[in-house]
């Protein structure tokens, strides 16, 4: 445990080290510290993942925390491994990416990056309510400063504030939940919450809902997801990757931690989690399809994947409710594996979008195109990550989605009609989500990297900055590795799964390993056949003429690259189908003459949750709070008087009237 904490301190110290370092050396110093931290964090983490057990360290604080336990168990270890590696990759990426920000407050960037990485790790081990809330807030605040890094830009400032407010709203639920839990259990330690949470009744349901809303806000669960599509595009790309790949997973971690303490959940909660997760995933990917800003699209896609993880959790909970360890195991394997998988491919996609942005200075896909020729390596890795996030075979996304599919399919043999209907709902929804993801990522990759540039690039894009590619390359190896050798992950997940499904016989994991081995054979067949057919093609063409000519344009000779399908037009037929769910505002301007020379068309997508839930809610809140506006007179004397009156009332309250 001391090793682990040394690593955390090193991450934090990396930021401080960057302050004193010279402008050019800051990123390298930070990288040095972060890399060193890995040697302290990863060994205990993998030790626990592989062998089980836990590391405990009691820490003595003054009141009100008291004795707080820092525990690294297998669940914490799984998330800590992702967090630690994520921090390392972003520190590598920042070496190249942050060059253009030299002289613009780089110190603060690294200080907060160190703080954010360290606090995420502490969130995963802190098991005392107050300590947890402190590190949780530290994580939110440090990431807020990172989101608002380019605060010269008004949009970024707005996004930052939006993020900040969303996080505070979320933590309000957590504070309420922890207060209630510790009042009912009489202790601040997590392990004592188990007595309250596992007792079925209205209290445990209320607690779970409060925790779910609080943690769900961080994770991006519908309808509390609205901060993601704002904060992710605003943040510097390395931070977006860390936020999307790692930070939102702390919300998932929180939900799982509460679940672990709840024992067998109430059946209503299990159905609730499954349904809300399906809505989250469908809503996320549908909106992702509609976006033209590449980072906004990736943010919505993160919401989708949080939904998929949630579906896994829901299936796992249903398995526990109906006392079917096999279904529970499949659900949790899917959820936990998808946590890791989403970290790998979403980080690659964000880093890739960072490379694109650093070279073209635009995030609007309608201005991009043909980047594959300029950025071949980025293009290849982006393609692999796109295939993986769509859940297609040969890559890791397929494996985690398959586990969730299996859990849902197994539920068809359950005895409860509600579970069967829920299983079909999840089953078909997962297929729907997958096919929409296919639409979404053929769009991203096809529009940005293939075809011709839609606008001229003023400076030819290049990938000479190799530090931008290293993190992507490392993750791509993992994506392909898990995809081809999926059974290895079972060993890493085994101990976590056993904690969630104590009734599971370890032998029941064997069939899953068998399935994964068969798949790995099938995938090898795919790769072999691709090689065979491509070889055949090359062989057939070796003496034939292969001419290069322009694309067949049906005889129309004056086309330009502007004629290509754009990201908006590619998504249009689908958006037309779901117009009620993803409303678009279209603004057309044309000249009412016979031969118009100029015309413009703008389309904006509206987020339903923002339009129908948050705007009206904030409106009501504003009206209500306006009633008290007379208190704010602006005179200092009055404010001091308020304080005094409050103190006097407090004094009376504490000492008693008698």
Partner 1 sequence: MPAAVTEIIIVISPLFLIGLTAKVKALWAGRKGAPVLQPYYDFFKLLGKGEVISTTTSPVFRIAPSIGIAATFVALMVTPIPIFGSFIHFEGDFVLFAYLLGLAKFLMVLGALDTGSSFEGMGASREVTYSTIVETAFFIVIGSLALLTRHFSFESIFASVNLSSGYSPLVKILLVVSLFIMLLAEGSRVPVDDPTTHLELTMIHEVMVLDYSGPDLAFVQYAASLKMTVIAILIADLFLPSSVPLMVACVLSAAIVALVFVSVGVVESLIARSRISHIPQFLFLMTTLALTSFAVVAFFLFGVIK
Q: At what angle do helices 469-484 and 487-500 cross, to 10 degrees?
A: 80
| Residue 365 per-residue DSSP state | G
Among 60, 552, 595, 630, binds partner 1 (CB under 8 A): 552
Query: Is 547 among the residues that bind partner 1 (CB under 8 A)?
Result: yes
Taking the chain, what is the end-to-end CA distance rounded to the nearest angstrom?
Answer: 52
With H, G, I as helix, E, B as strand and everything else as coil, classify residue 263: coil
Query: Is 287 among the residues that bind partner 1 (CB under 8 A)?
Result: no
CB of 474 to partner 1, least distance (A): 23
How far, in Å, are 157, 158, 243, 354, 553 from residue 153 at the CA level?
6, 9, 20, 18, 43
The residue range among 64-72, 390-398, 487-495, 632-640 that interacts with partner 1, by the rule CB under 8 A, is: 390-398
How far, in Å, are 195, 225, 229, 248, 286 from residue 303 at the CA level?
32, 7, 9, 9, 10
Q: Which is nearer to partner 1, 235 or 571 (CB)?
A: 571
Among 19, 56, 100, 529, binds partner 1 (CB under 8 A): 529
How far, in Å, are 128, 132, 133, 216, 478 from residue 205 at the CA level?
21, 21, 21, 16, 39
Query: Is 521 among the residues that bind partner 1 (CB under 8 A)?
Result: yes
CB of 338 to partner 1, least distance (A): 14
CB of 97 to partner 1, least distance (A): 25
Using a 10 angstrom Cβ sphere, with 0-12 exposed, 13-18 middle and 19 or more buried, the burial of residue 288 is: buried
Q: Which is nearer to partner 1, 547 or 588 (CB)?
A: 547
- Distance, in Å, from the CA atom of 299 to the CA atom of 241, rounded to the nearest integer, reads 10
Using a 10 angstrom Cβ sphere, with 0-12 exposed, 13-18 middle and 19 or more buried, the burial of residue 150 is: middle
Cβ(212)–Cβ(176) under 8 Å? no
What residues does 584 pair with on adjacent strands? 605
CB of 501 to partner 1, least distance (A): 18
Interface with partner 1 (CB under 8 A), residue total 86
Query: Is 9 among the residues that bind partner 1 (CB under 8 A)?
Result: no
Range 182-195 burial, b when 16+ CB lie within 10 A, else e: bebbebbbbebbbe
CB of 37 to partner 1, least distance (A): 38
Query: Is 53 among the residues that bind partner 1 (CB under 8 A)?
Result: no
Q: Which is nearer to partner 1, 154 or 460 (CB)?
A: 460
Query: Is 322 among the residues that bind partner 1 (CB under 8 A)?
Result: no
Q: Which is nearer to partner 1, 560 or 600 (CB)?
A: 560
Cβ(388)–Cβ(341) under 8 Å? yes
CB of 628 to partner 1, least distance (A): 49
Q: Which is nearer to partner 1, 56 or 563 (CB)?
A: 563
Among 46, 457, 565, 614, binds partner 1 (CB under 8 A): 565
Q: Which is nearer to partner 1, 550 or 585 (CB)?
A: 550
Question: What would the two tokens of residue 207 be?
Answer: 């607690």
Residues ≥6 apart with Cβ < 8 Å to 509: 329, 490, 494, 497
Positive or negative, the Cα torsion across 484, 487, 491, 495? positive
Query: Is 405 among the residues that bind partner 1 (CB under 8 A)?
Result: yes
Question: What would the two tokens of residue 455 be?
Answer: 């606008």
CB of 396 to partner 1, least distance (A): 13
CB of 508 to partner 1, least distance (A): 13
Residues ≥6 apart with Cβ < 8 Å to 352: 378, 381, 382, 385, 472
Q: Which is nearer to partner 1, 195 or 508 (CB)?
A: 508
What residues does 56 pair with on adjacent strands? 71
Question: What would the two tokens of residue 145 be?
Answer: 């400063």
Q: Which is nearer to partner 1, 540 or 593 (CB)?
A: 540
Site string for partner 1, 444-473 (x = CB under 8 A): -xxx-xxxx---------------------
Among 210, 394, 496, 498, binds partner 1 (CB under 8 A): 394
Query: Is 541 among the residues that bind partner 1 (CB under 8 A)?
Result: yes
CB of 565 to partner 1, least distance (A): 3
Q: Which is nearer to partner 1, 594 or 599 (CB)?
A: 599
Query: Is 537 among the residues that bind partner 1 (CB under 8 A)?
Result: yes
Query: Is 102 among the residues that bind partner 1 (CB under 8 A)?
Result: no
Q: Which of residues 480-519 bind partner 1 (CB under 8 A)?
A: 511, 514-515, 518-519
Site string for partner 1, 571-590 (x = CB under 8 A): xxxx--x-------------
Q: Which is nearer to partner 1, 20 or 421 (CB)?
A: 421
CB of 604 to partner 1, least distance (A): 20
- Distance, in Å, from the CA atom of 125 to the CA atom of 119, rounded to the nearest integer, reads 10
Among 378, 379, 396, 476, binds partner 1 (CB under 8 A): 379
CB of 573 to partner 1, least distance (A): 4
Cβ(483)–Cβ(399) under 8 Å? yes
Q: Which is nearer to partner 1, 528 or 616 (CB)?
A: 528
Cβ(348)–Cβ(384) under 8 Å? yes
CB of 581 to partner 1, least distance (A): 13
The residue range among 103-111, 292-300, 410-418, 461-469 that interacts with partner 1, by the rule CB under 8 A, is: 410-418
CA-based nearest residue to 323, from 269, 268, 267, 276:
267
CB of 349 to partner 1, least distance (A): 15
Run of H or E including 626: helix 615-626
CA-based nearest residue to 464, from 100, 102, 96, 89:
96
Question: What would the two tokens of residue 529 be?
Answer: 């056949």
The residue range among 33-41, 299-307, 415-423, 579-587 that interacts with partner 1, by the rule CB under 8 A, is: 415-423
Q: Which is nearer to partner 1, 91 or 378 (CB)?
A: 378
What residues does 590 pair with on adjacent strands? 599
Q: Which is nearer to partner 1, 451 or 481 (CB)?
A: 451
CA-based nearest residue to 373, from 472, 442, 455, 448:
448
Query: Is 243 among the residues that bind partner 1 (CB under 8 A)?
Result: no
Q: Which is nearer to partner 1, 267 or 432 (CB)?
A: 432
Q: Which of residues 417-446 bind partner 1 (CB under 8 A)?
A: 417, 420-421, 423-424, 427-428, 430-432, 434-436, 438-439, 441-442, 445-446
């Amino acid at each position: 445990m001391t090793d682990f904490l040394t690593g955390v301190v090193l991450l934090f110290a990396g930021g401080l080290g960057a302050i004193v370092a010279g402008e050019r050396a800051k990123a390298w110093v930070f990288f040095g510290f972060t890399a060193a931290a890995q040697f302290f964090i990863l060994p205990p983490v993998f030790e626990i993942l592989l062998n089980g057990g836990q590391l405990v360290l009691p820490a003595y604080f003054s009141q009100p925390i008291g004795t707080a336990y820092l525990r690294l168990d297998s669940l914490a270890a799984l998330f800590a491994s992702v967090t630690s590696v994520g921090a390392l990759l972003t520190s590598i990426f920042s070496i190249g990416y942050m060059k253009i920000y030299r002289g613009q407050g780089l110190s603060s960037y690294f200080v907060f990056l160190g703080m954010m990485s360290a606090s995420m790790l502490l969130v995963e081990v802190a098991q005392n309510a107050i300590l947890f809330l402190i590190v949780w807030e530290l994580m939110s605040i440090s990431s807020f400063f990172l989101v608002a890094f380019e605060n010269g830009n008004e949009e970024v400032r707005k996004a930052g504030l939006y993020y900040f407010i969303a996080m505070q709203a979320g933590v309000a639920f957590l504070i309420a939940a922890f207060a209630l839990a510790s009042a009912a259990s009489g202790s601040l330690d997590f392990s004592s919450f188990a007595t309250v949470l596992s007792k079925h009744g209205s209290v445990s349901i209320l607690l779970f809902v409060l925790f779910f809303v609080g943690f769900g806000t961080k994770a991006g669960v519908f309808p509390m997801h609205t901060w993601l599509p704002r904060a992710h595009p605003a943040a510097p790309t390395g931070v977006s990757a860390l936020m999307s790949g790692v930070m939102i997973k702390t919300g998932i971690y929180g939900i799982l931690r509460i679940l672990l303490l709840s024992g067998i959940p109430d059946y209503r909660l299990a159905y609730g989690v499954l349904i809300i997760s399906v809505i989250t995933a469908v809503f996320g990917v549908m909106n992702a399809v509609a976006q033209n800003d590449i980072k906004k699209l990736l943010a919505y896609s993160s919401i989708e994947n949080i939904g998929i993880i949630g579906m896994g959790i829901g299936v796992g909970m249903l398995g526990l409710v109906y006392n079917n360890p096999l279904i529970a195991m499949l659900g949790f394997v899917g959820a936990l594996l998808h946590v890791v998988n989403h970290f790998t491919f979403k980080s690659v996609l964000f880093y890739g979008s960072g490379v694109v942005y650093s070279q073209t200075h635009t995030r609007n896909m309608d201005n991009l195109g043909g980047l594959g020729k300029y950025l071949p390596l980025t293009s290849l890795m982006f393609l692999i990550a796109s295939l993986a996030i769509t859940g297609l075979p040969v890559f890791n996304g397929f494996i985690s989605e398959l586990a969730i599919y299996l859990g849902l399919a197994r539920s068809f043999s359950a005895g409860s009609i509600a579970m069967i209907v829920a299983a079909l709902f999840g089953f078909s929804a997962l297929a729907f989500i997958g096919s929409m993801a296919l639409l979404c990522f053929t769009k991203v990759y096809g529009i940005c990297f293939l075809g011709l540039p839609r606008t001229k690039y003023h400076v030819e894009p290049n990938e000479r900055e190799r530090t931008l590619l290293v993190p992507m390359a490392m993750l791509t190896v993992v994506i392909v590795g898990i995809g081809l050798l999926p059974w290895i992950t079972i060993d890493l997940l085994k101990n976590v799964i056993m904690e969630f499904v104590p009734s599971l016989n370890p032998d029941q994991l064997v069939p899953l390993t068998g399935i994964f081995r068969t798949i790995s054979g099938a995938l090898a067949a795919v790769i072999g056949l691709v090689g065979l057919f491509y070889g055949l093609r090359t062989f057939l063409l070796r003496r034939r003429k292969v001419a290069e000519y322009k694309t067949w344009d049906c005889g129309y000779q004056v086309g330009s690259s502007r004629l290509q399908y754009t990201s908006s037009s590619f998504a249009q037929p689908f958006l037309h189908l779901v117009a009620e769910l993803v409303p678009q505002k279209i603004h057309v301007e044309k000249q009412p003459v016979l031969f118009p020379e100029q015309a413009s068309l703008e389309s904006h997508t509206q987020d339903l949750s923002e339009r129908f839930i948050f705007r009206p809610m904030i409106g009501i809140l504003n009206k209500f709070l306006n009633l008290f506006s007379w208190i704010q007179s602006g005179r200092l004397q009055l404010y001091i008087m308020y304080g005094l009156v409050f103190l006097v009332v407090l004094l009376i309250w504490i000492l008693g009237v008698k």
